[in-house]
Structures are given as C-alpha cells and as structure tokens.
Chains A and B, each alone.
Chain A
Amino acid sequence: MDLWWSLTINGLATGFLIFLLAAGLSLIFGLMGVLNFAHGGVFAWGAYAGIWAYAASGNFAIGVACGALAGAVLGFILEKTMITPVYGNHLQQILITLGVMIVLGELIKTVFGANPQGAQPPRWLAGSFTVGDVVMIKYRLFVIAAGALVLALLYMLIHRTKFGLLVRAGVANREMVEILGYDIRNVFLFVFVLGSALAGLGGVLMGPYVGVFTPAIGMEYQLLAFVVVVIGGMESILGTAAAALLVGLANAYVAYYVPPLTAAVNMLLMISVLALRPEGLFGVNRGEN
C-alpha cells in the first residue's frame, strides 16, 4: 500500500509538471490552431533561466519568478516576430516554430553550456517525512500543490472572467467573436504569453524535481506534452489536466511494475486514443476529422 502511495504521488507530481507545459500548448492550439513546436524550448529556457537566478540569488521564489518571467518574455517575442507573420498558414507555422525550437536549444548551449546542469530543492523543501509507512518527499508534494493551484487559477480565469469568456468563445468559434468586434489577435497574444509563462514555470519547477538536466529536456517533455494534448483533446483546461495526470500516473506505475514497457507506454496511450477517438478523450468531435 505504501508503495502504491509513493508511486501515485510521484505520478501526480510528474503529471502536474507536464500539465504546466501542455496547458499553454492546448490553449494556443485551441484558440488559433497554432501548434507550437517551440513550446518545449520555452520550457527549457524557463528551467535554465530560473535555476540560474535561483543559484545566483539563493532564493527559490526569485528563481521561480524568473523562470516564469523568462517564459513570458520569450512568448511575447515569439508571438510578435515569428507567429504573426505566418499567421493562418499551418505548414509555415509548424516549420517556423520547429526552427525556433532549434535556435532556442542552441542558444541555451551557447549561454549556459551543453553540460548537464544540477539543481537542488531549497532547504525548506528538501528531504521527506513519513506518514504511517509512506515516505513523503516534500518537493513532490510542493509540485503537486503548486500545480493544483495553477490549475485552479487557470480554471477561474477561463471560466469565471470576461477574458476567459472571450477565450472560450474564440476556441468554439473564432470568426463569430471577431464579428462581434473583439480583436482576437490581442486575446491570442495574451494567451500565448500566458502559456509560455506557464511553460517557463513548469521548467523551473522541473529542475529540482529531476535533479540534473540538459538542454535536451525541452524536446523530451515537449513530446510528453504532445501526447497529453492528443489524449486530452484541445478543448478544455480540465481535459488537459486529466490527460496530464493520466500520463504522469501511467508512467509512474508502468516504470515500476512493467519496466520494459516504460519507453512505449506514452506512445501506446497516444496510438490507442488516436485510433479510437481522434478528437481526444475529452475533446468534442466537430466532424472535422
């Protein structure tokens, strides 16, 4: 039983970190149909910039803020310079964001070096405590709490505010929102920056979680985020969150109980969902596929 608890906590923590990355991806895609292949690059920049600021200042909160800020700034620059010119052209969007991904990865190597980078949780989050027989690793619980908080805030933003109404309306029917006189481009810019900030936040939280990371972390977790987006559909925050947790938990359980399947579990999840429900487990089939 205690083993089951450890695996579950581990899976939930991983799931929430992937959620931070996938949330932006699915919002950006749902709203404008832009599949951002550079999202993992923003995530990696969040990790590097955040951990650097954390090491320089000695304050974990500053590091976290810097990671998210780095994500937001990158998101703003990307949207203005890269996404706007090719808006509406899917092929070019995919090609250009992939190019941005390469450049972001190489820039990390140029600025921070290509060697593995270490990161430790701050002292107040280091170590663990036991409840009954279960060993609780503090940093994992912290990641779960932070992820749940972000999910709640994001849900409130999307479902309880005027701005969120615009986003939801834009996802459902973009032209109609534009006809009503709202500038959807501004909404999109904000969503893009928000999604990038979340990716940056996910990156900096991921640092101490994995302990050691390399610039390849961007591509690695981007693939997981893609899997999540496919499974969850591109419609709702809750769908993305559920899919992210599913992927996190599946990885944790399979890695322990069926180790040889570890590498394949995400792909198997994705292939089965694509084959059975191409619109995603929580997506709405609009008859487009």
Chain B
Amino acid sequence: MHRHIGLQRLGYGIFVAFVLSLPLFMHDARNQLFILTNIAVMAIFAMSYDLLLGYSGIISFGHVLFFGVGAYVTAIMMKNVSVSIPALLFVLLLTLLITAFLGWLIGFFTARLKSHFFAMFTLAIAELAAVLMEKAKGISGGSDGFSFPVPSFFRDKLTVAYVALISTLVIFVLLRLFVNSPMGTTIIGIRENEARMRALGYPVLRYKVLAVMISGAVAGFAGMLYGVSMRFVSVPSVFGINLTLDALLMTIVGGAGTLVGPVIGAVLVELVSQWLQLMAKSVPLLERWMLFFGLAYILVVLFFPSGILGGLQRLLILWRNRRRKAP
C-alpha cells in the first residue's frame, strides 16, 4: 500500500514537471503558447463549474457571469486606474470579493429552488447581465470591446503561460483540498441526498450558497486570467453563453465530479476545436464544429454519464476483474 502511494506521488511529480516544461517546447510563431494559456484559463473555469455540477449537483447555465465580471474588473482597472503589479493584486482581491458576493446574492435567492428553476434562473441572469453590459457601451465597449495595458511583467507570452499553468495547478490542489474537507463532503452529501442531510441537521441552504460562492470566485479568477492574457475584452467574448456551454462540455466530456475531468476536457475540447477550425479551410462543413461538439456531448450524456474519466475507470475495473479471474 505504501509503495502504491509513493508511486502515485512520483506520478504526480512527473506530471507536474511535464506540464511545467511544456511552454519550453512551444514555438511562439504558431501561437502554441497562446493556445496553452487558453487551455489553462478554460481548465480553471471548467473546474469551478465542476464544483457546482459534479460536486454539488447544481446546474448553472449562467456561470459565465462570474467569468465576465472577473475579466471586466481587470480590464477597467488596468485601463482607467493604474497599470502595476500592486494594482493587479488589488484587482485580484476585488474580483474575488465581487464574484463571491454575486455568488452569495444569486445563491441566497435561488439555491432553495429546484434544479430546473436554478438552471433557468441563472441562464436568465447571465443573459440579462450580457444585455446590460452591451447597453453600457461607455464602460464596456459593447461588442467591439476595448484593449488595455497590463504590467510589463505580464507582457511576455511565456510568463503568462507559466502564470496560467501554475495557477491551474494551485487551484486544482486548493479545490481538491476543499472537496475532501468536511465541508466538501457535506456538499457531496447534499448532492446525494438533500433530505437526509437536512434531517441530520446540516444547514443545507448555507452549504449550497457556499458552493456557489466559491465556484463563482474561482470562475472570476479565470476571467481575470483571461483578461491579463488577452489584454482585450468585449461583451460577447467574456459574457457570451457559449463560454458556459464550453465549460459544461468540458466538464461532462472529461467527467463531472472529478476535478481532473474538466482539465482533461479543457485540453481535449480546445485542441480538437483548434484542429477542426484548421480543417474547416478544406472541409467547409467543419466550420460548424460546434455541431459535432454538440453531438459528441449528447452521446456522452447518453452513454457515458461519467465522462472519459468514468469510462476509463470502468474499463480499468473490468480489466482488473478479468485478470483476477484468470488462473
């Protein structure tokens, strides 16, 4: 058993080393660093989504709201107030505070609702936010958006890629610690059997609101990272419903309720969509690559409800059982 854990640690170590060495092999000319950064941002966003969908059993279709707030707080502060590292740290604090507060507000009003109402409600709130931001062209730049400066430290693509990768690892570890903590297990318990948890005396609503808040804050951080790496925001690119759909797709395809799943999903979806977009130049039908993602997503929900990770796990168990039975 001890040896097993040692091996696992070694495995993690090798994996982290591999991930951290990735940027060194990338060539800027082909935008690989850019794609890598994007994958990391989406992985963080998808992990925050998994905290809701996979661990709390809450379906939110308005998750992009937090992402958009994070991106816009960064953009507005950098453009209008000050471009410096301390300012960015202040932005981080502000983003976390605002998104956590928004999460509390939404959770407080709606976490008592049943799953379908919550899904409906969050979708409506996020759409409303997008419309309002679009109207407030003076601040948001609307569909055209605006670009803004970032501290010189973050102007180097390699640095940004490293910041994004390390952030992904740190957030993964933090979220992992959270879901394994007593608080996290309580949230999982609520997902499994809400009535029982209530009967046991847990303030169910408070835990659900907490899950929405933490998830919102992490999503806000992903939005901030997006802002820093893009140095550009517009309403459709950070408030569009397709971002929520992307996170949903990544979480479901990778495997909900695992935290690793969304990361795998993010890598897969980003790479495949890049590839399909390249292919679309020769095969026009592939321009509608979202169609294929939609179909794949439906197939996964229908036949592999636990995603790639769950499917692999099942295969592994089958294989082990077979090996045990063999003489």
A binds B: yes
Chain A residues packing against B (C-beta within 8 Å) = 29, 33, 35, 37, 82, 85-86, 90-92, 94-96, 98-100, 102-103, 106-107, 109-110, 219, 223, 226-227, 229-230, 260, 263-264, 266-267, 270-271, 274-275, 278, 288-289
Contact A223 B115 (CB under 8 A): no
**CA of A103 to CA of B296, assembled, Å:** 10
**A283: shortest Cβ distance to chain B, in Å?**
12
Contact indicator A264/B128 (Cβ below 8 Å):
yes
Q: Which residues of B contact A229 (CB under 8 A)?
A: 120
**B59 interface residue (CB < 8 Å to A):** yes
Chain A residues near B302: list those with CB within 8 A: 82, 85-86, 96
CB < 8 Å: which of A82, A227, A260, A275 contacts B109?
A275
- Interface majority SS (helix, strand, loop, mixed), chain A: helix
Instruction: Report if B131 contacts A (CB, 8 A).
Output: yes
Residue among A102, A106, A230, A264 with the highest chain B CB neighbour number at 10 A? A102
How long is the Cα–Cα vector from A227 to B128 in the complex, in angstroms?
12
Are B110 and A103 neighbours in the complex by a CB distance under 8 Å?
no
Closest A-chain residue to B302, C-beta based? A85
Query: Which listed segment binds A: B20-28, B86-94, B263-271, B284-292?
Result: B284-292
Measured between alpha carbons, how far is A169 from B72 in the docked complex, in Å? Answer: 50
With A91-B115, A267-B128 already in contact, the answer to whether A100 and B298 are too (CB < 8 A) is yes
Question: Which chain A residues lie closer than 8 Å to B113 at the CB level?
Answer: 274, 278, 289
Q: Which 7 A-B pairs give the minimum distances between C-beta atoms?
A: A106-B291, A35-B116, A102-B294, A103-B294, A263-B131, A99-B298, A226-B120
Distance in angstroms from B317 CB to nearest chain A CB is: 22
Q: Measured between C-beta atoms, what is the minimum distance from B95 to chain A in Å?
A: 24
Cross-chain contact of A106 among B252, B288, B301 (Cβ < 8 A): B288
Which residue of the partner chain, among A86, A219, A260, contacts B301 with CB atoms under 8 Å? A86
Q: Contacts A263-B132, A267-B128 given: A110-B291 contact, CB under 8 Å?
A: yes
A289 touches B115 (CB 8 A): no
Distance (whole angstroms) from the CB of A200 to the closest CB of chain B? 20
B124 engages A267 (CB within 8 Å): yes
B61 interface residue (CB < 8 Å to A): yes
User: Once the chains bind, are B119 and A35 in contact (CB under 8 Å)?
Assistant: yes
Q: Which residues of A contact B81 (CB under 8 A)?
A: none
B57 at the interface (CB under 8 A from A): yes
B243 CB to nearest A CB, Å: 13
With A107-B291, A270-B121 known to touch, is A94 a contact of B59 (CB < 8 Å)? yes
* B57 and A91 within 8 A (CB): yes
Q: Which of B59, B131, B290 contacts A95 (CB 8 A)?
A: B59
Q: Mark B28-64, 1 if CB is under 8 A from A, else 0.
A: 0000000000000000000000000000010101000
Closest residue of chain A to B297, judged by CB?
A99
Whether B301 and A110, one on each chain, are in contact in the complex, defined by CB atoms closer than 8 angstroms, is no
B281 CB → nearest A CB, Å = 17
Q: Are B125 and A267 in contact (CB under 8 A)?
A: yes
Given contact pairs A107-B291, A266-B124, a sample of 12 additional A-B residue pairs in the complex whose CB atoms are under 8 Å apart = A90-B115, A94-B59, A94-B115, A95-B252, A95-B301, A99-B294, A100-B294, A102-B245, A223-B127, A260-B135, A263-B132, A274-B109
Determine the distance from Cα of A271 to Cα of B290 in the docked complex, in whole angstroms.
32
CA distance A85 to B301 in the complex (A): 10
Bound-complex Cα distance A275 to B117 (A): 12
Is B199 positioned at the interface, with any CB of A under 8 Å from its CB? no
> Contact string, B120-157, partner A, CB cutoff 8 A, digits 1/0?
11011101100110010000000000000000000000
* Contacting residue for B298 out of A33, A103, A227, A278, CB 8 A: A103
13 sample A-B contacts, Cβ–Cβ < 8 Å, listed by A number: A91-B115, A95-B59, A98-B61, A102-B291, A106-B294, A109-B288, A110-B288, A219-B241, A223-B123, A226-B120, A263-B131, A275-B109, A288-B114
Of chain B, the residue at the smallest CB distance from A270 is: B124
The answer to whether B132 touches A264 (Cβ under 8 A) is: yes
Q: Tell whether, in the assembled complex, residue B119 and residue A94 are in contact, meaning their CB atoms are under 8 Å apart.
A: yes
**Do B288 and A289 touch (CB < 8 A)?**
no
Per a CB cutoff under 8 Å, which of B135, B248, B285 touches A110? B285
Residues of A within 8 A of B121 (CB): 230, 270, 274
Contact (Cβ within 8 A) A263 B135? yes
- Considering only CB atoms, which chain B residue lies closest to A109 in the complex? B288
Q: Which residues of A contact B132 (CB under 8 A)?
A: 263-264
User: Which among B124, B127, B241 has the highest number of chain A CB atoms within 10 Å?
Assistant: B124
| Also in contact, A106 and B290, with CB within 8 A (given A98-B248, A99-B297, A263-B128) | yes
**Can you list, as one digit per residue, whether each of B218-240 has a CB less than 8 Å from chain A (1) or not (0)?**
00000000000000000000000
Q: Is the beta-carbon distance between B114 and A289 smaller than 8 angstroms?
A: yes
Q: Is the CB of B116 within 8 A of A102?
A: no
> Is the beta-carbon distance between B124 and A103 smaller than 8 angstroms?
no
- The answer to the question of B112 belonging to the interface, with a C-beta cut-off of 8 Å to chain A, is yes
